[in-house]
Structure 1
Amino acid sequence: MKTAIITDSTSYLTEDMITRYDIRVISLNVIFKNEVFVEADYNAEQFYERMRTEKQLPTTSQPTTGEYVTLLEQLKKEGFTDCISIHLSSGISGTFQNAITAGEMVEGITLHAFDSEIACMVAGMFTLRAAELKDVLPPEAIIEELTNMRARSNAYFLVDDLKNLQKGGRLNGAQAIIGSMLQVKPILHFEDKVIVPFDKVRTKKKAVQFVQSKISEEVSGPATIVVIHANAQSEAEAIRAQLQEQFPETDVIISYFGPVIGTHLGEKSLGVGYVHHRFEMFQ
Protein backbone atom coordinates (compact mmCIF):
# COMPACT_ATOMS: atom_id res chain seq x y z
CA MET A 1 0.00 0.00 0.00
CA LYS A 2 1.24 3.47 -0.94
CA THR A 3 -0.87 6.48 0.05
CA ALA A 4 -0.87 9.94 -1.54
CA ILE A 5 -2.23 13.07 0.12
CA ILE A 6 -4.28 15.54 -1.91
CA THR A 7 -5.73 18.87 -0.93
CA ASP A 8 -7.08 21.87 -2.80
CA SER A 9 -5.52 25.29 -3.14
CA THR A 10 -7.77 26.89 -0.51
CA SER A 11 -5.83 25.10 2.23
CA TYR A 12 -3.13 27.68 1.53
CA LEU A 13 -0.25 25.42 2.48
CA THR A 14 3.24 26.83 2.12
CA GLU A 15 5.67 25.50 -0.45
CA ASP A 16 7.72 24.04 2.39
CA MET A 17 4.76 22.06 3.68
CA ILE A 18 3.87 20.81 0.21
CA THR A 19 7.43 19.75 -0.54
CA ARG A 20 8.16 18.22 2.85
CA TYR A 21 5.20 15.85 2.69
CA ASP A 22 4.82 15.48 -1.10
CA ILE A 23 1.28 16.84 -0.93
CA ARG A 24 -0.55 17.13 -4.24
CA VAL A 25 -2.60 20.30 -4.67
CA ILE A 26 -5.51 20.64 -7.07
CA SER A 27 -6.37 24.25 -7.70
CA LEU A 28 -9.54 26.24 -7.71
CA ASN A 29 -9.76 29.25 -10.03
CA VAL A 30 -10.50 32.95 -9.72
CA ILE A 31 -12.05 34.76 -12.67
CA PHE A 32 -11.84 38.49 -13.45
CA LYS A 33 -14.32 39.12 -16.25
CA ASN A 34 -13.13 36.61 -18.87
CA GLU A 35 -9.65 36.07 -17.42
CA VAL A 36 -9.23 32.78 -15.56
CA PHE A 37 -6.40 32.49 -13.05
CA VAL A 38 -5.29 29.27 -11.37
CA GLU A 39 -5.35 30.16 -7.69
CA ALA A 40 -2.23 28.20 -6.83
CA ASP A 41 -0.26 30.38 -9.27
CA TYR A 42 -1.80 33.75 -8.35
CA ASN A 43 0.00 36.02 -5.89
CA ALA A 44 -2.44 37.03 -3.12
CA GLU A 45 -1.10 40.58 -2.75
CA GLN A 46 -1.48 41.22 -6.48
CA PHE A 47 -4.99 39.77 -6.33
CA TYR A 48 -6.16 42.16 -3.60
CA GLU A 49 -4.62 45.10 -5.44
CA ARG A 50 -6.57 44.23 -8.55
CA MET A 51 -9.81 43.54 -6.66
CA ARG A 52 -9.65 47.08 -5.22
CA THR A 53 -9.59 48.56 -8.73
CA GLU A 54 -12.28 46.38 -10.31
CA LYS A 55 -15.89 47.58 -10.27
CA GLN A 56 -17.17 44.01 -10.52
CA LEU A 57 -16.16 41.32 -8.04
CA PRO A 58 -14.32 38.33 -9.48
CA THR A 59 -15.96 34.94 -9.43
CA THR A 60 -14.51 31.56 -8.50
CA SER A 61 -14.74 28.04 -9.86
CA GLN A 62 -13.88 24.59 -8.58
CA PRO A 63 -11.57 22.06 -10.26
CA THR A 64 -13.32 19.98 -12.87
CA THR A 65 -13.84 16.26 -12.53
CA GLY A 66 -11.57 15.82 -15.53
CA GLU A 67 -8.70 17.62 -13.78
CA TYR A 68 -9.15 15.31 -10.83
CA VAL A 69 -9.18 12.24 -13.04
CA THR A 70 -5.90 13.37 -14.61
CA LEU A 71 -4.34 13.75 -11.17
CA LEU A 72 -5.51 10.31 -10.04
CA GLU A 73 -4.22 8.69 -13.22
CA GLN A 74 -0.82 10.31 -12.61
CA LEU A 75 -0.73 9.11 -9.01
CA LYS A 76 -1.56 5.58 -10.16
CA LYS A 77 1.37 5.71 -12.61
CA GLU A 78 3.61 6.71 -9.70
CA GLY A 79 2.63 3.55 -7.86
CA PHE A 80 0.09 4.91 -5.38
CA THR A 81 -2.67 2.50 -4.43
CA ASP A 82 -4.66 4.92 -2.27
CA CYS A 83 -5.08 8.64 -1.81
CA ILE A 84 -6.63 10.72 0.94
CA SER A 85 -8.28 13.81 -0.51
CA ILE A 86 -9.02 16.67 1.91
CA HIS A 87 -11.11 19.64 0.78
CA LEU A 88 -12.84 22.80 1.84
CA SER A 89 -16.38 22.44 3.11
CA SER A 90 -18.81 20.79 0.73
CA GLY A 91 -21.36 23.38 1.84
CA ILE A 92 -19.54 26.16 -0.03
CA SER A 93 -17.89 24.33 -2.92
CA GLY A 94 -18.42 21.30 -5.12
CA THR A 95 -14.72 20.40 -4.96
CA PHE A 96 -15.30 17.59 -2.46
CA GLN A 97 -18.06 16.03 -4.57
CA ASN A 98 -15.97 16.27 -7.75
CA ALA A 99 -13.21 14.38 -5.97
CA ILE A 100 -15.62 11.58 -5.10
CA THR A 101 -16.92 11.45 -8.68
CA ALA A 102 -13.40 11.26 -10.09
CA GLY A 103 -12.50 8.52 -7.63
CA GLU A 104 -15.34 6.41 -8.98
CA MET A 105 -14.07 6.87 -12.53
CA VAL A 106 -10.46 5.77 -12.07
CA GLU A 107 -9.69 2.12 -11.46
CA GLY A 108 -6.59 0.86 -9.70
CA ILE A 109 -6.39 3.58 -7.05
CA THR A 110 -8.78 4.09 -4.15
CA LEU A 111 -9.78 7.62 -3.19
CA HIS A 112 -10.73 8.35 0.43
CA ALA A 113 -12.39 11.77 0.47
CA PHE A 114 -12.59 13.89 3.61
CA ASP A 115 -14.89 16.90 3.96
CA SER A 116 -13.12 19.36 6.26
CA GLU A 117 -16.45 21.19 6.77
CA ILE A 118 -14.35 24.35 7.03
CA ALA A 119 -11.73 26.14 4.89
CA CYS A 120 -8.28 27.72 4.72
CA MET A 121 -5.43 26.65 6.98
CA VAL A 122 -7.66 24.72 9.37
CA ALA A 123 -8.37 22.39 6.45
CA GLY A 124 -4.65 22.63 5.74
CA MET A 125 -3.87 21.31 9.20
CA PHE A 126 -6.09 18.30 8.57
CA THR A 127 -3.99 17.78 5.45
CA LEU A 128 -0.74 18.03 7.41
CA ARG A 129 -2.02 15.52 9.96
CA ALA A 130 -2.90 13.06 7.21
CA ALA A 131 0.57 13.55 5.76
CA GLU A 132 2.16 12.81 9.13
CA LEU A 133 0.29 9.51 9.29
CA LYS A 134 0.34 8.33 5.68
CA ASP A 135 3.25 5.92 6.24
CA VAL A 136 2.06 4.83 9.68
CA LEU A 137 -1.67 4.07 9.42
CA PRO A 138 -3.98 2.71 6.73
CA PRO A 139 -6.23 5.29 5.02
CA GLU A 140 -9.35 4.26 6.93
CA ALA A 141 -7.62 4.87 10.25
CA ILE A 142 -6.34 8.25 9.06
CA ILE A 143 -9.85 9.31 8.07
CA GLU A 144 -11.01 8.31 11.56
CA GLU A 145 -8.24 10.44 13.10
CA LEU A 146 -9.23 13.42 10.95
CA THR A 147 -12.87 12.99 11.92
CA ASN A 148 -11.91 13.12 15.59
CA MET A 149 -9.78 16.22 14.98
CA ARG A 150 -12.62 17.91 13.12
CA ALA A 151 -14.88 17.49 16.16
CA ARG A 152 -12.42 19.55 18.23
CA SER A 153 -11.61 22.30 15.78
CA ASN A 154 -13.21 25.61 14.90
CA ALA A 155 -12.61 28.98 13.29
CA TYR A 156 -14.06 32.46 13.45
CA PHE A 157 -13.87 35.04 10.68
CA LEU A 158 -14.09 38.81 11.00
CA VAL A 159 -14.94 40.89 7.95
CA ASP A 160 -15.14 44.63 7.52
CA ASP A 161 -18.53 44.33 5.80
CA LEU A 162 -20.73 41.75 4.10
CA LYS A 163 -20.49 43.09 0.55
CA ASN A 164 -18.35 40.33 -0.91
CA LEU A 165 -20.17 37.52 0.89
CA GLN A 166 -23.59 38.80 -0.13
CA LYS A 167 -22.64 39.27 -3.77
CA GLY A 168 -21.02 35.84 -3.88
CA GLY A 169 -24.04 34.15 -2.32
CA ARG A 170 -21.89 32.41 0.29
CA LEU A 171 -23.56 33.85 3.40
CA ASN A 172 -26.72 32.21 4.76
CA GLY A 173 -28.86 34.08 7.28
CA ALA A 174 -27.18 37.40 6.57
CA GLN A 175 -30.43 39.26 7.30
CA ALA A 176 -29.85 38.60 10.98
CA ILE A 177 -26.98 41.07 11.10
CA ILE A 178 -27.65 43.41 8.20
CA GLY A 179 -28.31 46.98 9.29
CA SER A 180 -26.08 49.91 9.69
CA MET A 181 -22.60 48.54 9.01
CA LEU A 182 -20.76 51.74 9.82
CA GLN A 183 -19.21 50.44 13.05
CA VAL A 184 -20.57 46.89 13.21
CA LYS A 185 -18.11 44.11 12.47
CA PRO A 186 -19.80 40.79 11.65
CA ILE A 187 -18.21 37.65 13.06
CA LEU A 188 -18.83 34.50 11.05
CA HIS A 189 -18.19 30.80 11.50
CA PHE A 190 -19.01 27.49 9.86
CA GLU A 191 -22.17 25.73 10.96
CA ASP A 192 -23.52 22.66 9.18
CA LYS A 193 -20.84 23.15 6.52
CA VAL A 194 -21.85 26.71 5.52
CA ILE A 195 -20.73 30.17 6.61
CA VAL A 196 -23.25 31.80 8.94
CA PRO A 197 -23.28 34.83 11.23
CA PHE A 198 -22.10 34.10 14.76
CA ASP A 199 -22.31 37.55 16.32
CA LYS A 200 -21.82 41.22 15.62
CA VAL A 201 -19.55 43.54 17.57
CA ARG A 202 -18.97 47.26 17.32
CA THR A 203 -15.48 48.28 16.20
CA LYS A 204 -12.80 46.00 14.84
CA LYS A 205 -10.77 46.12 18.04
CA LYS A 206 -13.67 44.77 20.10
CA ALA A 207 -14.43 42.17 17.44
CA VAL A 208 -10.86 40.88 17.60
CA GLN A 209 -11.07 40.75 21.40
CA PHE A 210 -14.34 38.84 21.13
CA VAL A 211 -12.82 36.24 18.80
CA GLN A 212 -9.80 35.85 21.09
CA SER A 213 -12.12 35.27 24.03
CA LYS A 214 -13.92 32.51 22.11
CA ILE A 215 -10.61 30.85 21.33
CA SER A 216 -9.69 31.05 25.03
CA GLU A 217 -12.91 29.26 25.94
CA GLU A 218 -12.49 26.49 23.39
CA VAL A 219 -8.77 25.68 23.29
CA SER A 220 -7.34 23.43 25.98
CA GLY A 221 -4.40 21.05 25.94
CA PRO A 222 -2.06 20.52 22.96
CA ALA A 223 -3.22 22.62 20.03
CA THR A 224 -2.20 24.65 17.02
CA ILE A 225 -3.82 28.05 16.50
CA VAL A 226 -3.72 29.84 13.16
CA VAL A 227 -4.27 33.54 12.55
CA ILE A 228 -5.47 34.15 8.99
CA HIS A 229 -5.49 37.47 7.18
CA ALA A 230 -6.49 39.02 3.86
CA ASN A 231 -3.63 41.41 3.13
CA ALA A 232 -3.46 42.49 6.79
CA GLN A 233 -0.10 41.11 7.87
CA SER A 234 0.60 43.61 10.67
CA GLU A 235 -2.78 43.01 12.31
CA ALA A 236 -2.26 39.26 12.07
CA GLU A 237 1.17 39.56 13.66
CA ALA A 238 -0.26 41.54 16.57
CA ILE A 239 -2.99 38.96 17.18
CA ARG A 240 -0.48 36.15 16.94
CA ALA A 241 1.74 37.78 19.57
CA GLN A 242 -1.20 38.19 21.95
CA LEU A 243 -2.32 34.59 21.49
CA GLN A 244 1.19 33.23 21.87
CA GLU A 245 1.53 35.08 25.18
CA GLN A 246 -1.83 33.73 26.28
CA PHE A 247 -1.04 30.17 25.16
CA PRO A 248 2.72 29.78 25.72
CA GLU A 249 2.69 26.02 25.15
CA THR A 250 0.58 26.22 22.01
CA ASP A 251 1.89 26.79 18.49
CA VAL A 252 0.45 29.95 16.95
CA ILE A 253 1.08 30.38 13.23
CA ILE A 254 0.04 32.85 10.54
CA SER A 255 -1.66 32.02 7.26
CA TYR A 256 -3.66 34.00 4.72
CA PHE A 257 -6.89 34.16 2.75
CA GLY A 258 -5.89 33.56 -0.85
CA PRO A 259 -7.81 34.76 -3.91
CA VAL A 260 -10.70 32.27 -3.83
CA ILE A 261 -11.65 32.76 -0.18
CA GLY A 262 -10.61 36.42 -0.30
CA THR A 263 -13.10 36.99 -3.09
CA HIS A 264 -15.91 36.14 -0.71
CA LEU A 265 -14.61 37.59 2.58
CA GLY A 266 -12.98 40.72 1.20
CA GLU A 267 -9.68 42.47 1.84
CA LYS A 268 -8.58 43.11 5.46
CA SER A 269 -10.64 40.19 6.75
CA LEU A 270 -9.17 38.27 9.67
CA GLY A 271 -9.68 34.78 11.04
CA VAL A 272 -8.57 32.68 13.96
CA GLY A 273 -8.88 28.89 13.91
CA TYR A 274 -7.45 25.92 15.73
CA VAL A 275 -7.07 22.16 15.91
CA HIS A 276 -6.18 20.16 18.99
CA HIS A 277 -2.89 18.78 17.72
CA ARG A 278 0.68 20.08 17.70
CA PHE A 279 2.81 19.56 14.61
CA GLU A 280 6.50 18.83 14.79
CA MET A 281 7.27 21.31 12.02
CA PHE A 282 5.89 24.25 14.05
CA GLN A 283 7.77 23.48 17.27
Structure 2
Amino acid sequence: MKVKIIADSGCDLPKQILDNLNIEMMPLIVQADGEEFLDRKTIEPVQLYNKMRNGSAPKTAQVSPLTIKETISTYAKENIPVIYITLSSGLSGTYQTAVLMNEEIKEEFPEAQSAIFDSLGASLGYGLMVYEAALLAEKGESIETILSMLEQFRDSLQYIFTVDDLEYLFRGGRVSKTAAFMGSLLKIKPVLHMKDGKLFPLEKVRGRKKSFSRMLELMKERTGDTSKMTIAISHGDDIESANLLKEMIKDEFKTNEIIINMIGGAVGAHAGPGTVALFFLSKPVRS
Protein backbone atom coordinates (compact mmCIF):
# COMPACT_ATOMS: atom_id res chain seq x y z
CA MET A 1 0.00 0.00 0.00
CA LYS A 2 1.37 3.43 -0.97
CA VAL A 3 2.65 5.72 1.77
CA LYS A 4 0.39 8.72 2.38
CA ILE A 5 2.25 12.03 2.56
CA ILE A 6 0.78 14.76 4.76
CA ALA A 7 2.09 18.31 5.08
CA ASP A 8 0.85 21.55 6.54
CA SER A 9 0.14 24.73 4.63
CA GLY A 10 3.59 26.14 5.43
CA CYS A 11 4.99 24.03 2.57
CA ASP A 12 3.53 26.50 0.01
CA LEU A 13 3.30 23.90 -2.78
CA PRO A 14 1.02 24.79 -5.69
CA LYS A 15 -2.42 23.18 -5.51
CA GLN A 16 -1.81 21.34 -8.77
CA ILE A 17 1.17 19.50 -7.27
CA LEU A 18 -0.74 18.70 -4.08
CA ASP A 19 -3.61 17.29 -6.13
CA ASN A 20 -1.50 15.41 -8.69
CA LEU A 21 0.61 13.69 -6.03
CA ASN A 22 -2.28 13.12 -3.61
CA ILE A 23 -0.62 15.11 -0.81
CA GLU A 24 -2.92 15.97 2.07
CA MET A 25 -2.47 19.49 3.39
CA MET A 26 -3.42 20.59 6.90
CA PRO A 27 -3.91 24.35 7.32
CA LEU A 28 -2.08 26.41 9.90
CA ILE A 29 -4.09 29.11 11.64
CA VAL A 30 -3.79 32.80 10.76
CA GLN A 31 -5.21 35.48 13.06
CA ALA A 32 -5.80 38.94 11.57
CA ASP A 33 -8.02 41.90 12.42
CA GLY A 34 -9.72 40.01 15.24
CA GLU A 35 -10.62 37.04 13.05
CA GLU A 36 -9.22 33.53 12.79
CA PHE A 37 -8.60 31.91 9.41
CA LEU A 38 -7.34 28.61 8.03
CA ASP A 39 -4.33 29.26 5.82
CA ARG A 40 -5.13 28.69 2.12
CA LYS A 41 -8.64 27.43 3.02
CA THR A 42 -10.57 30.35 4.44
CA ILE A 43 -8.01 33.01 3.53
CA GLU A 44 -5.85 33.16 0.42
CA PRO A 45 -2.31 34.59 0.63
CA VAL A 46 -3.12 37.64 -1.51
CA GLN A 47 -5.95 38.57 0.89
CA LEU A 48 -3.55 38.43 3.82
CA TYR A 49 -0.94 40.55 2.04
CA ASN A 50 -3.56 43.18 1.26
CA LYS A 51 -4.48 43.26 4.94
CA MET A 52 -0.82 43.71 5.85
CA ARG A 53 -0.40 46.55 3.37
CA ASN A 54 -3.35 48.21 5.07
CA GLY A 55 -1.70 48.00 8.50
CA SER A 56 -2.78 44.59 9.79
CA ALA A 57 -0.25 42.71 11.95
CA PRO A 58 -1.33 39.06 11.66
CA LYS A 59 -0.21 36.24 13.92
CA THR A 60 -0.10 32.52 13.28
CA ALA A 61 -0.83 29.38 15.27
CA GLN A 62 -0.05 25.71 14.75
CA VAL A 63 -2.35 23.08 13.32
CA SER A 64 -4.78 22.02 16.04
CA PRO A 65 -3.96 18.78 17.92
CA LEU A 66 -7.43 17.42 17.15
CA THR A 67 -6.98 17.98 13.40
CA ILE A 68 -3.63 16.20 13.47
CA LYS A 69 -4.94 13.24 15.46
CA GLU A 70 -8.10 12.81 13.39
CA THR A 71 -6.21 13.03 10.11
CA ILE A 72 -3.50 10.49 10.96
CA SER A 73 -6.02 8.20 12.66
CA THR A 74 -8.03 8.01 9.44
CA TYR A 75 -5.10 6.23 7.78
CA ALA A 76 -4.07 4.25 10.84
CA LYS A 77 -7.52 2.63 10.93
CA GLU A 78 -7.01 1.44 7.34
CA ASN A 79 -3.41 0.38 8.02
CA ILE A 80 -2.16 2.89 5.43
CA PRO A 81 1.42 4.02 6.15
CA VAL A 82 1.72 7.78 6.77
CA ILE A 83 4.48 10.37 6.97
CA TYR A 84 3.50 13.79 8.27
CA ILE A 85 6.21 16.28 7.29
CA THR A 86 5.88 19.44 9.38
CA LEU A 87 6.96 23.05 9.25
CA SER A 88 10.25 23.63 11.10
CA SER A 89 10.07 23.01 14.85
CA GLY A 90 12.13 26.20 15.16
CA LEU A 91 9.23 28.23 13.75
CA SER A 92 6.12 26.34 14.90
CA GLY A 93 4.98 24.00 17.65
CA THR A 94 3.24 21.73 15.13
CA TYR A 95 6.05 19.14 15.09
CA GLN A 96 6.03 18.64 18.87
CA THR A 97 2.24 18.43 18.91
CA ALA A 98 2.23 15.94 16.05
CA VAL A 99 4.72 13.70 17.87
CA LEU A 100 2.47 13.63 20.94
CA MET A 101 -0.63 12.92 18.87
CA ASN A 102 1.17 10.15 17.01
CA GLU A 103 2.10 8.49 20.30
CA GLU A 104 -1.57 8.49 21.29
CA ILE A 105 -2.54 7.03 17.92
CA LYS A 106 -0.03 4.20 18.30
CA GLU A 107 -1.46 3.34 21.70
CA GLU A 108 -4.84 2.93 20.05
CA PHE A 109 -3.51 1.33 16.85
CA PRO A 110 -0.26 -0.50 17.79
CA GLU A 111 0.29 -1.67 14.20
CA ALA A 112 0.03 1.83 12.74
CA GLN A 113 2.86 2.78 10.40
CA SER A 114 2.97 6.51 11.03
CA ALA A 115 5.98 8.81 11.30
CA ILE A 116 6.43 12.51 12.01
CA PHE A 117 9.30 14.26 10.23
CA ASP A 118 10.59 17.72 11.16
CA SER A 119 11.47 19.49 7.91
CA LEU A 120 13.50 22.14 9.76
CA GLY A 121 12.33 24.25 6.85
CA ALA A 122 9.62 26.58 5.63
CA SER A 123 7.83 27.67 2.48
CA LEU A 124 8.89 26.00 -0.76
CA GLY A 125 12.14 24.71 0.76
CA TYR A 126 10.00 22.58 3.02
CA GLY A 127 7.71 22.10 0.04
CA LEU A 128 10.52 20.57 -2.03
CA MET A 129 10.97 17.89 0.65
CA VAL A 130 7.26 17.13 0.55
CA TYR A 131 7.36 17.03 -3.26
CA GLU A 132 10.26 14.57 -3.38
CA ALA A 133 8.68 12.38 -0.68
CA ALA A 134 5.41 12.27 -2.62
CA LEU A 135 7.23 11.30 -5.83
CA LEU A 136 8.78 8.33 -4.02
CA ALA A 137 5.43 7.42 -2.47
CA GLU A 138 3.85 7.37 -5.93
CA LYS A 139 6.55 4.91 -7.01
CA GLY A 140 5.58 2.61 -4.14
CA GLU A 141 8.70 3.14 -2.02
CA SER A 142 8.60 2.10 1.63
CA ILE A 143 8.18 4.45 4.57
CA GLU A 144 11.79 3.68 5.60
CA THR A 145 13.16 4.58 2.16
CA ILE A 146 11.24 7.86 2.08
CA LEU A 147 12.37 8.85 5.58
CA SER A 148 15.98 8.13 4.64
CA MET A 149 15.68 10.35 1.56
CA LEU A 150 14.10 13.11 3.65
CA GLU A 151 17.06 13.14 6.03
CA GLN A 152 19.50 13.47 3.13
CA PHE A 153 17.38 16.16 1.50
CA ARG A 154 17.06 18.15 4.73
CA ASP A 155 20.84 18.09 5.25
CA SER A 156 21.47 19.36 1.71
CA LEU A 157 18.72 21.96 1.36
CA GLN A 158 19.70 25.64 1.16
CA TYR A 159 17.46 28.63 1.92
CA ILE A 160 18.31 32.20 0.87
CA PHE A 161 15.77 35.00 0.88
CA THR A 162 15.31 38.73 0.99
CA VAL A 163 12.50 40.96 2.22
CA ASP A 164 11.26 44.14 0.59
CA ASP A 165 10.31 45.99 3.78
CA LEU A 166 12.02 45.56 7.16
CA GLU A 167 8.87 46.80 8.89
CA TYR A 168 7.36 43.31 8.79
CA LEU A 169 10.44 41.73 10.36
CA PHE A 170 10.25 44.42 13.05
CA ARG A 171 6.62 43.51 13.76
CA GLY A 172 7.67 39.89 14.15
CA GLY A 173 10.51 40.80 16.51
CA ARG A 174 13.31 39.97 14.04
CA VAL A 175 14.84 43.48 13.86
CA SER A 176 14.72 46.60 16.01
CA LYS A 177 12.52 49.59 15.21
CA THR A 178 15.62 51.69 14.50
CA ALA A 179 17.04 49.08 12.11
CA ALA A 180 13.70 48.87 10.31
CA PHE A 181 13.47 52.66 9.98
CA MET A 182 17.06 53.11 8.78
CA GLY A 183 16.80 50.11 6.46
CA SER A 184 13.72 51.53 4.77
CA LEU A 185 15.35 54.96 4.52
CA LEU A 186 18.51 53.55 2.90
CA LYS A 187 16.63 50.95 0.80
CA ILE A 188 18.41 48.14 2.59
CA LYS A 189 17.33 44.66 1.44
CA PRO A 190 18.69 42.15 3.95
CA VAL A 191 19.70 38.73 2.70
CA LEU A 192 18.82 36.00 5.19
CA HIS A 193 19.08 32.23 5.38
CA MET A 194 17.82 29.36 7.47
CA LYS A 195 20.05 27.25 9.69
CA ASP A 196 18.93 24.49 12.06
CA GLY A 197 15.34 25.42 11.36
CA LYS A 198 15.66 29.09 12.35
CA LEU A 199 16.09 32.33 10.43
CA PHE A 200 19.37 34.26 10.53
CA PRO A 201 20.56 37.42 8.72
CA LEU A 202 23.51 37.01 6.36
CA GLU A 203 24.22 40.52 5.14
CA LYS A 204 22.70 43.84 4.08
CA VAL A 205 22.47 44.88 0.43
CA ARG A 206 21.23 48.17 -1.00
CA GLY A 207 18.65 47.75 -3.74
CA ARG A 208 16.40 44.95 -4.94
CA LYS A 209 18.35 43.73 -7.96
CA LYS A 210 21.62 43.76 -6.02
CA SER A 211 20.02 41.53 -3.40
CA PHE A 212 19.05 39.06 -6.15
CA SER A 213 22.58 39.16 -7.59
CA ARG A 214 23.97 38.39 -4.15
CA MET A 215 21.52 35.49 -3.77
CA LEU A 216 22.86 34.02 -7.02
CA GLU A 217 26.46 34.47 -5.85
CA LEU A 218 25.62 32.57 -2.69
CA MET A 219 23.94 29.87 -4.76
CA LYS A 220 27.13 29.47 -6.82
CA GLU A 221 29.15 29.13 -3.61
CA ARG A 222 26.80 26.57 -2.08
CA THR A 223 25.87 24.20 -4.89
CA GLY A 224 27.38 22.08 -7.63
CA ASP A 225 25.56 20.28 -10.44
CA THR A 226 22.03 21.72 -10.65
CA SER A 227 20.99 19.87 -13.82
CA LYS A 228 19.10 17.17 -11.89
CA MET A 229 17.72 19.47 -9.22
CA THR A 230 14.33 21.04 -8.78
CA ILE A 231 14.83 24.66 -7.71
CA ALA A 232 12.06 26.63 -6.02
CA ILE A 233 11.23 30.31 -5.66
CA SER A 234 8.48 31.62 -3.41
CA HIS A 235 7.28 35.19 -3.16
CA GLY A 236 5.11 37.46 -1.05
CA ASP A 237 2.66 38.59 -3.74
CA ASP A 238 5.44 39.77 -6.07
CA ILE A 239 5.40 37.50 -9.12
CA GLU A 240 7.40 40.01 -11.20
CA SER A 241 10.37 39.78 -8.84
CA ALA A 242 10.05 35.99 -8.66
CA ASN A 243 10.13 35.77 -12.46
CA LEU A 244 13.11 38.12 -12.60
CA LEU A 245 15.02 35.88 -10.21
CA LYS A 246 13.97 32.84 -12.25
CA GLU A 247 15.42 34.34 -15.44
CA MET A 248 18.64 35.25 -13.62
CA ILE A 249 18.94 31.64 -12.44
CA LYS A 250 18.28 30.24 -15.91
CA ASP A 251 21.03 32.47 -17.30
CA GLU A 252 23.55 31.13 -14.77
CA PHE A 253 22.59 27.51 -14.09
CA LYS A 254 21.45 24.35 -15.80
CA THR A 255 18.15 23.54 -14.17
CA ASN A 256 15.85 20.54 -14.17
CA GLU A 257 12.78 22.48 -13.07
CA ILE A 258 11.91 25.71 -11.27
CA ILE A 259 8.75 25.79 -9.17
CA ILE A 260 7.29 29.21 -8.29
CA ASN A 261 4.45 29.87 -5.87
CA MET A 262 3.18 32.54 -3.50
CA ILE A 263 4.21 32.34 0.15
CA GLY A 264 1.18 31.41 2.23
CA GLY A 265 -0.06 32.98 5.42
CA ALA A 266 1.94 30.70 7.74
CA VAL A 267 5.24 32.30 6.64
CA GLY A 268 4.02 35.44 4.89
CA ALA A 269 2.46 36.80 8.08
CA HIS A 270 6.00 37.26 9.43
CA ALA A 271 8.01 38.04 6.27
CA GLY A 272 5.52 40.37 4.61
CA PRO A 273 4.67 41.40 1.05
CA GLY A 274 7.58 41.52 -1.38
CA THR A 275 9.58 38.72 0.21
CA VAL A 276 11.40 36.55 -2.34
CA ALA A 277 12.97 33.23 -1.32
CA LEU A 278 15.24 30.82 -3.18
CA PHE A 279 15.62 27.11 -2.39
CA PHE A 280 18.09 24.60 -3.82
CA LEU A 281 20.32 21.68 -2.82
CA SER A 282 24.01 21.87 -2.00
CA LYS A 283 24.31 18.49 -3.76
CA PRO A 284 21.85 16.34 -5.73
CA VAL A 285 19.82 13.86 -3.71
CA ARG A 286 17.81 12.46 -6.62
CA SER A 287 19.89 10.14 -8.84
TM-score, structure 2 normalization: 0.88
Measured in 1, the distance between the counterparts of 2:45 and 2:255 equals 31
User: 1:233: which partner in 2?
Assistant: 239
- State which of 128, 132, 135 in structure 1 corresponds to 2:135: 132
Q: Residue type matched to 1:46 in 2?
A: Q
User: 1:4: which partner in 2?
Assistant: 4
Q: Residue type matched to 1:53 in 2?
A: N
Measured in 1, the distance between the counterparts of 2:255 and 2:28 equals 35
**Kept after mapping to 2: 8 A contact 1:2/1:80:** no
Measured in 2, the distance between the counterparts of 1:249 and 1:164 equals 32
Q: Residue type matched to 2:128 in 1?
A: M
Q: Residue type matched to 1:20 in 2?
A: N
Which whole-Å deviations, capped at 9, do the CAs of 1:206-249 have from their partners, x for residues lacking one?
Answer: 11110111112222222121121111111111110121122234
Measured in 2, the distance between the counterparts of 1:273 and 1:13 equals 13
User: 1:116: which partner in 2?
Assistant: 119
Q: Percent identity?
A: 28
Q: Residue type matched to 1:197 in 2?
A: P
Which residues of 2 match residues 149-168 of structure 1 at below 5 A?
149-168=153-172
1:251–1:2: structure 2 CA closer, same or farther, 3 Å change rule?
closer
Count of aligned pairs between the two proteins:
274
User: 1:100: which partner in 2?
Assistant: 99
Q: Quote how far apart the aligned CAs of 1:272 are.
A: 0.8
User: 1:47: which partner in 2?
Assistant: 48
Q: Residue type matched to 1:35 in 2?
A: E
Which whole-Å deviations, capped at 9, do the CAs of 1:31-54 have from their partners, x for residues lacking one?
Answer: 113211110212222221122123
Which whole-Å deviations, capped at 9, do the CAs of 1:102-125 have from their partners, x for residues lacking one?
Answer: 111113223211111110111111
SS of equivalent residue, structure 2 residue 91: coil
Unaligned runs of 5+ in 1: none
Which whole-Å deviations, capped at 9, do the CAs of 1:72-112 have from their partners, x for residues lacking one?
Answer: 122234x2432111111110101111111111111322321
**Kept after mapping to 1: 8 A contact 2:152/2:285:** no
Measured in 1, the distance between the counterparts of 2:257 and 2:285 equals 7
2:165 paired with 1:184:
no
TM-score, structure 1 normalization: 0.89
Q: Quote how far apart the aligned CAs of 1:264 are.
A: 0.4
Comparing both chains, which one has the higher relative contact order based on Cα–Cα distances under 8 Å and sequence gaps of 6 or more?
2
Measured in 2, the distance between the counterparts of 1:44 and 1:34 equals 17
The root-mean-square deviation of aligned C-alpha atoms, in Å, is: 2.1
Q: Residue type matched to 2:25 in 1?
A: V
1:278–1:152: structure 2 CA closer, same or farther, 3 Å change rule?
closer
Q: Quote how far apart the aligned CAs of 1:277 are.
A: 5.0
Q: Quote how far apart the aligned CAs of 1:278 are.
A: 8.6
